[in-house]
């Protein structure tokens, strides 16, 4: 039987990323991101789950979706990989609008371009 994920459980998980209290400015965007793994990328369901105003969650959700962290009904993240803590903190900054996510294909194209320039 699958374990039911609670708000308290996600709050404990958030503490693992050194976001310990609701006074931390990273708390709400962090909870929105983690909760999207439980609720899906649905701002209204997330707002109800984390008990925060829908308007705030929708604001973060719009930025998260625009930056490709939420695509259709999927959450695109690397938060639990070896260096996942860094990825999670970067995505929090994306959610707040302080960073933008750049897709890997852009970097791969740039790397190929630079290799071609260095070869000549």
Q: Residue 1: inside a domain, yes or no?
A: no
Q: Residue 2: inside a domain, yes or no?
A: no
Cβ–Cβ contacts within 10 Å for residue 61, how many? 23
Element (H, E) at 74: strand 74-75
Residue 62 vs residues 41, 58, 116: alpha-carbon distances, Å: 10, 6, 38
Digit-coded pLDDT (tens) for 4-24: 899 999 999 999 889 989 999
What's the mean pLDDT in 25-32?
A: 96
Structural domain count, the chain: 1
Asked if 76 and 91 count as a contact pair (C-beta separation under 8 A), the reply is no
In which domain, by residue range, is 109 found? 7-119
What confidence score (pLDDT) does residue 73 get? 93
Least confident of 43-52, 81-90, 91-100, 106-115: 106-115
């Amino acid at each position: 039987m699958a374990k039911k994920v609670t708000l308290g459980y996600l709050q404990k998980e958030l503490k693992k990323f050194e976001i310990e209290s609701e006074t931390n400015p990273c708390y709400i965007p962090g909870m929105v991101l983690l909760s999207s793994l439980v609720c899906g990328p649905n701002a209204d369901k997330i707002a109800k789950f984390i008990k925060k105003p829908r308007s705030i969650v929708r604001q973060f959700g719009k930025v998260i979706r625009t930056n490709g962290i939420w695509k259709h009904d999927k959450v695109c993240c690397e938060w639990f990989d070896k260096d996942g803590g860094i990825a999670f903190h970067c995505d929090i900054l994306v959610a707040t609008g302080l960073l933008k996510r750049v897709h890997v294909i852009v970097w791969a194209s740039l790397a190929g371009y630079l290799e071609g320039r260095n070869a000549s």
